[in-house]
């Protein structure tokens, strides 16, 4: 008979990572992501049938709820998934959580949400992927979509927008400078980007800050993949006020294709009327640059469906993929 085992350390986790058919999991993430608990559903044979981590401390605010988060999720089959998710909800309810949310690895700046409409385009670089039955796992256990996201594919060669010219003149009048990333000072540049994102995103859905060191470690492994021309940093009087981070779609090369696509991963601008429109200006500049570099397409990745950037994104392309984050009430 399957049994639940609470795993309390990376060393204990190592004992259950070999010989099972689940996607790989780094046990050190239990510490790095400060999970409050990690549970494995283990078969008599010793193999792990399903796993997840739970967070109930230091979770983001959401209306009047106390959130419990379910992440590091994987399940071998629907029955194992149902058993695990039901157990996770019971554990979170025992900690007085009123809403379970998942999958989310403790923070929206880490891996979270599931693909719910795959479309015909293949996966792109840095895109989270999941088996197609995982959304059904959550829905079959009483979860419903809490938020939707999309990625959009852009192939048009440019759409004239008079507003961009006006914003460009306004930024020039303020002496706002838009420059490219300096790859020789990548860690310092990432600190500038972190300083903007930690302020710009603070009102985003389920946002919780992460430490600067973790942010930098997320991006440093991409040192050899980044094209400095595709990372734009806006500065005002020497202070970073916005950025756009884009990167070539290296998954195309891994499939033996020529790389003709750029992924626009993040656009962020400090709040305030003075910088209104700067995000659109960064996007327009990036469009010009990617065409000059010979890239035929751009993917605007993983946008929240209530995000204002969708209005701009819709002018240039079509939805290629949709994702969802799920929630379940724990109140009786």
Q: Which domains does the chain have, with CATH numbers?
A: 3-148+325-329 (3.40.630), 156-295 (3.40.630.30)
pLDDT in the model for residue 255 = 96
Residue-level pLDDT at 20: 67
Contacts of 23 (CB under 8 A, 6+ apart): 74
Q: pLDDT of the chain along its 332 residues, tens only?
A: 789 999 999 988 887 765 567 888 999 999 999 999 999 999 887 789 999 999 999 999 999 999 999 999 999 999 999 999 999 999 999 999 999 999 999 999 999 999 999 999 999 999 999 999 999 999 999 999 999 999 999 987 655 677 899 999 999 999 999 999 999 999 999 999 999 999 999 999 999 999 999 999 999 998 889 999 999 999 999 999 999 999 999 999 999 999 999 999 999 999 989 999 999 999 999 999 999 999 999 999 999 997 655 555 555 579 999 999 999 999 97
DSSP states of 39-67: EEEE-TTS-EEEEEEEE-SSPPPBTTB-E
- What's residue 46's pLDDT? 76
Compute φ and ψ for 124, nearest 5 degrees: -110, 165
Instruction: Give the model's pLDDT for residue 304.
Output: 93
Q: Does the reported pTM lie above 0.75?
A: yes
CA–CA dist 293, 229 (Å, integer): 9
pLDDT of residue 157: 62
DSSP state of 289: H
Q: Where are the alpha helices (DSSP H) in the chain?
A: 10-14, 29-32, 78-94, 134-140, 162-173, 186-200, 212-219, 250-254, 278-292, 309-313
**176 DSSP β-pair partners:** 236
What's the pLDDT at 185?
A: 94
């Amino acid at each position: 008979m399957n049994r639940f085992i609470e795993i309390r350390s990376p060393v204990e986790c190592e004992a259950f990572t070999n010989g099972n058919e689940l996607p790989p999991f780094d046990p050190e993430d239990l510490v790095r992501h400060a999970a409050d608990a990690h549970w494995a559903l283990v078969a008599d044979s010793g193999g792990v049938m399903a796993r997840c981590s739970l967070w109930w401390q230091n979770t983001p605010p959401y209306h009047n709820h106390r959130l419990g988060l379910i992440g590091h999720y994987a399940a071998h089959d629907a029955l194992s998934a149902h058993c695990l998710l039901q157990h996770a909800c019971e554990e979170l309810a025992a900690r007085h959580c009123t809403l379970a949310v998942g999958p989310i690895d403790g923070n929206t700046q880490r891996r979270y949400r599931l693909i719910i409409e795959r479309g015909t385009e293949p996966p792109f670089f840095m895109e989270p992927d999941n088996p197609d039955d995982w959304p059904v796992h959550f829905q079959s256990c009483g979860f419903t979509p809490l938020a939707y996201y999309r990625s959009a594919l852009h192939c048009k060669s440019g759409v004239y927008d008079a507003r961009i010219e006006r914003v460009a003149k306004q930024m020039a009048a303020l002496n706002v400078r838009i420059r490219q990333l300096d790859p020789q000072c990548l860690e310092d540049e990432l600190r500038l980007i972190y300083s903007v994102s930690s302020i710009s995103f603070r009102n985003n859905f389920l946002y919780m800050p992460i430490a600067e060191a973790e942010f930098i470690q997320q991006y440093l492994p991409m040192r050899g993949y980044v094209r400095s021309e595709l990372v734009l940093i806006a500065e005002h009087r020497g202070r970073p006020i916005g950025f756009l981070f884009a990167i070539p779609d290296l998954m195309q090369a891994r499939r033996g294709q020529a790389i003709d696509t750029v992924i626009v991963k993040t656009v962020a601008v400090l709040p305030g009327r003075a910088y209104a429109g700067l995000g659109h200006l960064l996007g327009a500049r990036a469009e010009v640059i990617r065409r000059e570099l010979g890239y035929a397409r751009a993917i605007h990745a993983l946008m929240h469906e209530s995000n204002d950037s969708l209005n701009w994104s819709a002018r240039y392309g079509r939805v290629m993929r949709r994702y969802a984050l799920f929630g379940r009430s724990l109140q009786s």
